[in-house]
């Protein structure tokens, strides 16, 4: 493995307080040219990186219970002729505006209760659309996405909120539209799961202008928490991990939905394969029990389907409900590992093999290879090879040669999802750059690192921001320059 690990690497070299500090709210909205740059920004890197994540982790001093519930703060780093510009702005969702006006938490969330005990929460099942999970530019629209409801449309130049977008009537009110769309052959594919006790999966395909190509729905059996999806030329693929939800304590206001989520290691994981053609036939295959959120890529070869997924032995849940989400002990949490699956639809069999044991998340491949066989996969990983911990490093995996490259931040730094940006003049699959937002706890500031995707041990440039950006979730690149 090619290695670039900095700092004194011991088995556990991070401090949980440093990681927790990365969850301090960022209340300001900025707009400036980044003038503190180490290295040289490639002139071919022309376009905009949009990022999304929870920006507010409390409302007027009242702490929210889980980062999933933090108000979406979208950042844009725009690259133009060797310079970079930063701006960030809150998505003005209905919930954000109402809570800011009231100065207190008004909504329950995945891990958040309203203050006032169970009486204040009883029978309230309305979550805030936090618009905090992903942001993508598609069909001349910029969408801040959250999996439980409609996307919010933003002005790409200013990040000003236009409002909820129902996609010209495609989405009914509060129709879930997940935060993990996939783009294959210039077609935008997304899904939504509606309901808790009785669930329906709806799949959408949009053309490159955002117009509907397909929409079809399927009833689901058992409780499905589908966060991500996979796609190939002929199939949509979903992984249904075995969960059971105790509805009553949530309904009666005693517990958050997070506390009512129970992973069942004795039940198999289901892999739902839906045809993209004609009747959209659905098949379910079963494999060993595992948990997870994110998937890598999927492809077809010789009549079989292959896919990668980050697998965890159980659901990462706080051991003590009263602890703040940022006081967790990573040793108590299961670590994500990258596995590859082979699905044989005619024989209804699934086999899987572990590809990477190091704790990992946020896998990605060259955007043009979604649904096709790829050679390189990029992801966030732990600094330590076997123990669990916060994500502090980036790995490139060469699936053909087995070579692994590693770039690591320093022990007091924490790296975000690496986004692969293809070099417009590139020929090879890994001609391009990886962009990752890194939080530096020592300075309580963030920087964007640009790595050479051919050799990720090579730091191309570091773009230092004047402030921190709280740990985020997902984002996307567009070659359009929005300033
Ligand atoms: Fe995600």
Q: How far is the CA of 328 from the centre of ligand 1 (A)?
A: 20
Q: Is the confidence at residue 10, as pLDDT, over 70?
A: no
Counting residues of the chain whose pLDDT is more than 90, the rounded percentage is 82
Q: How far is the CA of 346 from the centre of ligand 1 (A)?
A: 31
Tokens 């702005």 correspond to: 89
d(CA 376, CA 361): 15
In angstroms, what CA-CA distances link 119 with 58, 60, 127, 251, 252?
A: 21, 22, 17, 11, 8
* 173 vs 83 pLDDT, higher one: 83
Angle at 83 between CA 82 and CA 88, to 5 degrees: 140
Q: What is the pLDDT of residue 1?
A: 53
Do 146 and 133 contact (CB within 8 A), yes or no? yes
Q: How far is the CA of 331 from the centre of ligand 1 (A)?
A: 22
Predicted TM-score (pTM) of the model is 0.95
Q: Is the confidence at residue 438, as pLDDT, over 50?
A: yes
Q: How far is the CA of 323 from the centre of ligand 1 (A)?
A: 23
Q: How far is the CA of 180 from the centre of ligand 1 (A)?
A: 7
The predicted-structure confidence for 248-277, as pLDDT tens digits, reads as follows 999 899 999 888 888 999 999 999 999 999
Q: How far is the CA of 419 from the centre of ligand 1 (A)?
A: 13
Q: Is the confidence at residue 387, as pLDDT, over 90?
A: no
At residue 117, the 3 state secondary structure works out as: helix
* 1 vs 224 pLDDT, higher one: 224
Q: How far is the CA of 119 from the centre of ligand 1 (A)?
A: 32
Q: What is the pLDDT of residue 326?
A: 81
Q: Is the confidence at residue 328, as pLDDT, over 60?
A: yes
Torsion of CA 353, 355, 356, 357, to 10 degrees: 20
d(CA 339, CA 335): 13
User: Which of 113-127, 271-285, 396-410 is predicted with the least confidence, judged by mean pLDDT?
Assistant: 113-127
Q: What is the pLDDT of residue 333?
A: 87
What mean pLDDT is predicted for residues 397-413?
Answer: 95
Q: Retrieve residue 198's tokens.
A: 């009785």
What is the pLDDT of the chain when averaged over all its residues?
94
Q: What is the pLDDT of residue 7?
A: 45
Residue whose C-alpha is closest to residue 378's, from 421, 426, 428, 439: 421
Confidence of residue 478 (pLDDT cuts 50, 70, 90): very high
What mean pLDDT is predicted for residues 223-247?
Answer: 95
The predicted-structure confidence for 14-46, as pLDDT tens digits, reads as follows 999 999 999 999 999 999 999 999 999 999 999
Q: How far is the CA of 216 from the centre of ligand 1 (A)?
A: 23
* 178 vs 330 pLDDT, higher one: 178
* 4 vs 139 pLDDT, higher one: 139
User: Which of 48-57, 149-158, 327-336 is predicted with the least confidence, judged by mean pLDDT?
Assistant: 327-336
The predicted-structure confidence for 210-225, as pLDDT tens digits, reads as follows 999 999 999 999 999 9
Q: How far is the CA of 336 from the centre of ligand 1 (A)?
A: 13
Q: How far is the CA of 379 from the centre of ligand 1 (A)?
A: 13
Q: What is the pLDDT of residue 2?
A: 55
Q: How far is the CA of 43 from the centre of ligand 1 (A)?
A: 30
Q: How far is the CA of 39 from the centre of ligand 1 (A)?
A: 31
- What are the backbone angles phi and psi of residue 423, rounded to the nearest 5°? -70, 125
Tokens 């506390």 correspond to: 259
Angle at 261 between CA 227 and CA 69, to 5 degrees: 60
Q: How far is the CA of 294 from the centre of ligand 1 (A)?
A: 6
Q: How far is the CA of 78 from the centre of ligand 1 (A)?
A: 23
Q: What is the pLDDT of residue 320?
A: 65
Strand partners, 342: 306, 351
């Amino acid at each position: 493995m090619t290695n670039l690990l900095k700092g004194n690497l011991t088995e556990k070299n991070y401090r949980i307080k440093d990681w927790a500090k990365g969850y301090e709210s960022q209340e300001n909205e900025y707009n400036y040219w980044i003038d503190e740059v180490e290295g040289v920004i490639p002139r071919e890197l022309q376009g905009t990186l949009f990022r999304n994540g929870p920006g507010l982790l409390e409302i007027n001093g009242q702490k929210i219970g889980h980062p999933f519930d933090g108000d979406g703060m979208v950042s844009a780093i725009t690259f133009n002729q060797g310079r970079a510009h930063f701006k960030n702005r809150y998505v003005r969702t209905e919930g954000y505006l109402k809570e800011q006006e009231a100065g207190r938490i008004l909504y329950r969330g995945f891990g958040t209760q309203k203050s006032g005990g169970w009486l204040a929460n009883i029978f309230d099942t309305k979550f805030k659309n936090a618009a905090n999970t992903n942001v993508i530019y598609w069909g001349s629209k910029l969408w801040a996405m959250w999996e439980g409801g409609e996307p919010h449309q933003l002005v790409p130049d200013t990040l000003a909120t236009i409002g909820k977008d129902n996609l010209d009537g495609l989405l009914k009110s509060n129709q879930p539209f997940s935060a993990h769309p996939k783009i294959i052959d210039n077609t935008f594919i997304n899904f939504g799961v509606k309901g808790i006790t009785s669930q329906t999966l709806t799949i959408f395909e949009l053309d490159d202008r955002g117009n509907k190509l397909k929409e079809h729905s399927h009833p689901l059996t058992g409780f499905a928490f589908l966060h991500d999806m996979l796609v190939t030329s002929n199939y949509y693929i979903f992984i249904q991990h075995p969960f059971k939800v105790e509805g009553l304590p949530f309904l009666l206001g005693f517990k958050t939905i997070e506390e009512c989520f129970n992973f069942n290691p004795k039940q198999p994981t289901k892999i739902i394969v839906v045809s993209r053609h004609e009747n959209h036939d659905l098949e379910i295959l079963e494999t060993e029990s595992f948990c997870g959120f994110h998937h890598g890529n999927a492809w077809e070869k010789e009549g079989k389907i292959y896919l990668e997924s980050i697998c965890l032995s159980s659901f990462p849940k706080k051991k003590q409900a009263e602890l703040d989400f940022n006081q967790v002990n990573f040793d108590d949490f299961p670590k994500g590992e990258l596995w590859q699956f082979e699905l044989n639809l005619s024989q209804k069999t699934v086999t899987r093999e572990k590809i990477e044991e190091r704790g990992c998340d946020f896998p990605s491949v060259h955007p043009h290879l979604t649904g096709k066989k790829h050679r390189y996969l990029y992801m966030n990983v732990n600094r330590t090879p076997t123990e669990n911990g916060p994500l502090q490093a980036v790995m490139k995996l060469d699936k053909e040669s087995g070579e692994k490259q590693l770039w690591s931040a320093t022990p007091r730094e924490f790296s975000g999802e690496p986004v692969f940006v293809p070099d417009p003049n590139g020929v090879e699959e890994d001609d391009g750059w990886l962009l990752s937002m890194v939080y530096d706890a020592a300075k309580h500031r963030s920087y964007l690192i640009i790595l050479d995707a051919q050799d990720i041990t090579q730091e191309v440039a570091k773009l230092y921001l004047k402030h921190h950006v709280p740990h985020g979730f997902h984002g996307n690149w567009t070659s359009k320059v929005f300033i």
